[in-house]
Structure 1
Amino acid sequence: MARHSKAPLREAPDGGWGWMVVISCFLVNVCTRAVSRCLSIFFVEFQNYFAQDYAMTAWIHSTVDCTTMVFAPIGSIITNRYSTRVTVILGGLLATSGLILSSFATCLEYLYLSLGVLTGCGYALSYSPAIAIVGKYFSKKKAIAYGLAMSGSGIGTFVLAPVVQLLIEEYSWRGALLILGGLVANICACGALLRPLSLEEDLPNSSINSIVSRCTSDECSYKVPREDPRLLRHSVDLNCPGKDCDRKQLCNCCPSYKEYAFLLTPDFLVFAVSLLFMAYGCSTPFVHLVPYAVSAGVNQKQAAFLMSILGIVDIVGNISFGWLMDRGCLKKYRKYCYILTTGLDGLSSLFIPILTSFPLLVPYAILYGYFDGAYVSLIPVVTSDIAGNAFLSSALGIVYFIHGIPYLIGPPIAGWLVDATGNYTAAFLVSGLSMIFSSMMVISIDWIKKCRNSVDIQTTIVESDPTTTTFLTASDNQI
């Protein structure tokens, strides 16, 4: 194992051991997101074995995704306290245990706990920390690095979808879950390769931690300076619980503030709300595409092959958009590319009512898979652009936490719509419209940023020059 150098680097190395980190993150995506997507192939088996309707069975998949995202901030907290390596290995052990225990299930409620909660917690501790550390190793090549790393979900889906179907036919669903548990154990090996990296921006003299020096023994309250770019000119009061306050005390009593100061920014808040609608919309096709194809008359193997097509095209979207976003002429348009791909992904789902055969569903799988791969690879990049690279680990934890509630309620709501209407039209239409609305919300971020900057400039001029303030007041009175 490569040794970790404690000497801080001025900037990300953009290569070297970073490519091993990309490979590790790629494999973590295979063992988490790809395996999670392929769980929909088990749905027919679960329905027949446990004699339950589709809505009840859909709770298994939604619980896995919800737990993965809701507990993502815990993965960030453990990473900040210890290391990415420890967090990912712990997550691999939990996810493996959940899948192995699920092979002994006797009822759906058992699967809710073993497959949904336990495996989901393992994924939560593995997924976001592995993604966040890629951003530490890359700066100029960040988009292509994330494109390659995130393509693991697409390649994994392409390979695992037919393999899982074959495993179910040969060993039943119990044997298939047991074998998947052995596959997911490789997360522990991937975690061992995630060597920590020290950057100057993470040291105590960085912009966010420099605020600590303002706290003295005579004055325990201080305000965040308006010129601090990481906090985007927000004034926040922090108080230490005692008369005497020094730097060490402040660091110990306010750790959450330092790690989550980006939550104060209005552009991140708008981005967070848009993710709620995006997460709801993107969950439906992955859960319901195979059952929809079967209901339309497509045989089971062809329906599973649609997931393989979606997965392989997802890879093309990951890598091609990652490469494009690193071009100098397109770097400043990353956010707009994210908006475009999210909107087009939702638009493609609106055509699902007229796609009633395998040849018609193939173009849908291609379009949806490509745009899905594109915006998924851009989520960490856009998050880094909005929150700042120093906050990337904590910001990704919050971003994936926001995915939790839509992932929990999305598939069951879609299943309820299927049971209520007798078809999948309403489920896919709501999914597509939700993603389109999400992309429209992100457009408003630039407008909010311009309004905030204009107000801050005016405030800075007034506060920094009393003479100007007097002159402006006198001029206003004359007018």
Structure 2
Amino acid sequence: MSSKPKPESGAGEAEGPDGGWGWVLVAALFLSTSLVFGVMRSLGIFFVEFVQYFEESAQAISWISSTGLAAQQFFSPLGAALCNAYNARVVVMAGGFLTALGFILASQATCLVHLYLTMGLISGLGWGLVFTPMVATVMANFTRRRTLALGLGFSSIGLSSFAFNPLFQLLVETYAWRGALLILGGLSLNIVPCGALIRPQRPPKAPAKLVDSQRRPSCAEVLQRVSSYLELSLLCERPYLTYTLAISLFNVGYFVPYFHLVAHSRLAGFSEYHAAFVMSAAGATDILGRIASGWFSDLGHFRLIHLLSAWTALAGTFIMLLPVSSLTGSYAALVAISLLYGFCSGALTSLAFAVVPKIVGVERTMGGLGLLQLIESGAGLLGGPLSGLLKDITGNYVASFIVAGSFLILGTLTMGTLPHFFSCTDLPPPRRRPPADPSARPELQQMDTGTARQVK
């Protein structure tokens, strides 16, 4: 590999995949992520309605969105394993159907448990089958512009956050929360054609001497194959475990503003539409942050891990400043801090995924992303209810946001313990041995080719 600090744009990777049909997949990622995380970020509109309708505490209602987030991350390894074993197109299309089904069933809810199972578990399962396969598929089609492609695809999260908050508020006022959830289920069906755009890769034919269709595989062989699909060997590597711990700490506080900033703004005395606009403003700068971060990162002036640390520390600081800015009742101050937070939170997102190939190797990205989200799912499940509990204890969201921001700062410090963190150049990631069944990993053939050229 090149000794220059330009890991993504070195000459060795110039021959790898860098566009073509990949740009169509970026558009599919753009739409699908808006209907996953864009919707997830906008569920705060329903938070207020659920508190009033079910007459439950903020902590109890918070479990709905937290269950959905945790389920999305918990089932991501399942999505990655199914893609490695079968076909990413079918997996993503099935995920889109399950997402829509969860919201449609949630529109008929009569108790919180119903919402936990539908909006939380079923829709979360659908999100888990959509997000990781779409991200890994886009990364398979780009080499030098990988971070920019992810930034463009993820920019829809900020755009949808900007659009969905006032839209959902309008839908709730017009059709009540049941009708709004029913419409949201219909919107989620658009994920299905996004998955249909994925082109199945033809797996290479296995040597004839290795093929024995009459022999049933032993238990050990089955376990070995499952371990290969899930990339469980990564759990024995210190850099990967350190990075997943840091991302898990991020995850505790990252989504708290999207769950509770609308409710905090309402509690601070602002109107419903003013409260919704705060999230829309953060969503607008989120778009700029993702694109600008992706473009600047691909210039190669700094290591991705250093840029990620900087953006995460800033995002944590602005989360802690969100409630402080509204203590004086200044709406302009709250909007200004929300704009800064939105930019930093958007800037770090693409980098969090783009760093994974640097740590595990490109050929293990699919499994690495899945395991990463599985490990951080527990942290995502903790963040919302912890924030709601602090609100129930203190009567406001000041402590909730300060604690949430502190977790991002702590994650940044944890990332600083990565081996060779303070080096100016990326070290080549460890490479695993080829799987026993080469045909089981068709989705990453292009990524393997690009990596092989880079290492030579």
The answer for the alignment partner of 1:471 in structure 2 is none
Distance 1:131 1:256 in 2: 21
The residue matched to 1:92 in structure 2 has which SS? Answer: helix
The answer for the alignment partner of 2:143 in structure 1 is 139
For 1:287, which of 259, 281, 286 is the aligned residue?
A: 259
Task: Give the drift of 1:12.
Answer: 3.8
Matches within 5 A, 1:27-46: 27-46=31-50
Matches within 5 A, 1:195-344: 195-197=199-201, 254-259=224-229, 260=231, 261-330=233-302, 333-344=303-314
Distance 1:344 1:199 in 2: 44
1:416-435 residue CA offsets vs partner (Å, 9 max, x unmatched): 11110112121111111110
Contact 1:136/1:197 (8 A) holds in 2: no
Q: Share of identical aligned residues, percent?
A: 36
The answer for the alignment partner of 1:406 in structure 2 is 379
Distance 2:14 2:82 in 1: 25
Task: Give the drift of 1:169.
Answer: 0.8
For 2:108, which of 95, 99, 104 is the aligned residue?
A: 104
The residue matched to 1:403 in structure 2 has which SS? Answer: helix
Task: Give the drift of 1:312.
Answer: 1.1
Distance 2:323 2:278 in 1: 17
Quickly say closer, same or farther: Cα 1:321–1:34, change in 2 above 3 A: same
Code of the residue aligned with 1:128 in structure 2: it is T
CA RMSD in angstroms, aligned pairs only: 2.7
Task: Give the drift of 1:258.
Answer: 3.3
Distance 1:11 1:81 in 2: 27
The answer for the alignment partner of 2:17 in structure 1 is 13
Code of the residue aligned with 1:354 in structure 2: it is V
For 1:174, which of 168, 172, 178 is the aligned residue?
A: 178
The answer for the alignment partner of 2:450 in structure 1 is none
Task: Give the drift of 1:251.
Answer: 6.6
When the two structures are superposed, what TM-score results if normalisation uses the length of structure 1? Answer: 0.79
The residue matched to 2:416 in structure 1 has which SS? Answer: helix
The residue matched to 1:52 in structure 2 has which SS? Answer: coil
Code of the residue aligned with 1:124 in structure 2: it is G
1:124 matches 2:128: yes
Distance 2:41 2:338 in 1: 14
1:397-429 residue CA offsets vs partner (Å, 9 max, x unmatched): 112112211111211111111110112121111
Matches within 5 A, 1:41-190: 41-190=45-194
Task: Give the drift of 1:197.
Answer: 4.3
Contact 1:31/1:184 (8 A) holds in 2: yes
Moved more, 12-21 or 344-353: 344-353
Contact 1:321/1:374 (8 A) holds in 2: yes
Task: Give the drift of 1:355.
Answer: 1.3
For 1:371, which of 332, 340, 344 is the aligned residue?
A: 344
Code of the residue aligned with 1:279 in structure 2: it is N
Contact 1:137/1:197 (8 A) holds in 2: no
Quickly say closer, same or farther: Cα 1:252–1:44, change in 2 above 3 A: closer
Code of the residue aligned with 2:401 in structure 1: it is F
The residue matched to 2:255 in structure 1 has which SS? Answer: helix
For 2:415, which of 436, 442, 452 is the aligned residue?
A: 442
Quickly say closer, same or farther: Cα 1:204–1:273, change in 2 above 3 A: farther
Contact 1:267/1:449 (8 A) holds in 2: no
1:267-289 residue CA offsets vs partner (Å, 9 max, x unmatched): 11100111121100102111111
Structure 1: which 5+ residue stretches go unaligned? 1-8, 206-246, 455-479
The residue matched to 1:444 in structure 2 has which SS? Answer: coil
The answer for the alignment partner of 1:384 in structure 2 is 357
1:24 matches 2:59: no
The structure, 1 or 2, with the larger RCO (C-alpha pairs under 8 Å, 6+ apart) is 2
For 1:395, which of 351, 368, 377 is the aligned residue?
A: 368
Matches within 5 A, 1:451-470: none
1:290-332 residue CA offsets vs partner (Å, 9 max, x unmatched): 11111111111011011111111111011001011111433xx
Contact 1:266/1:448 (8 A) holds in 2: no
Contact 1:10/1:199 (8 A) holds in 2: no
1:358 matches 2:331: yes
1:335-392 residue CA offsets vs partner (Å, 9 max, x unmatched): 1000000111001122234211321111111111111111101111101111111011
Task: Give the drift of 1:263.
Answer: 2.9
Structure 2: which 5+ residue stretches go unaligned? 1-12, 208-216, 428-456
Distance 2:163 2:386 in 1: 29
Distance 1:46 1:433 in 2: 28
Quickly say closer, same or farther: Cα 1:139–1:369, change in 2 above 3 A: same
Distance 1:397 1:91 in 2: 15
Contact 2:14/2:144 (8 A) holds in 1: no
Quickly say closer, same or farther: Cα 1:409–1:297, change in 2 above 3 A: same
Code of the residue aligned with 1:366 in structure 2: it is L
Distance 1:115 1:138 in 2: 34
Quickly say closer, same or farther: Cα 1:353–1:152, change in 2 above 3 A: closer
Quickly say closer, same or farther: Cα 1:45–1:15, change in 2 above 3 A: same
Distance 1:199 1:139 in 2: 21
Q: Which structure has the bigger radius of gyration?
A: 1
Code of the residue aligned with 2:200 in structure 1: it is P
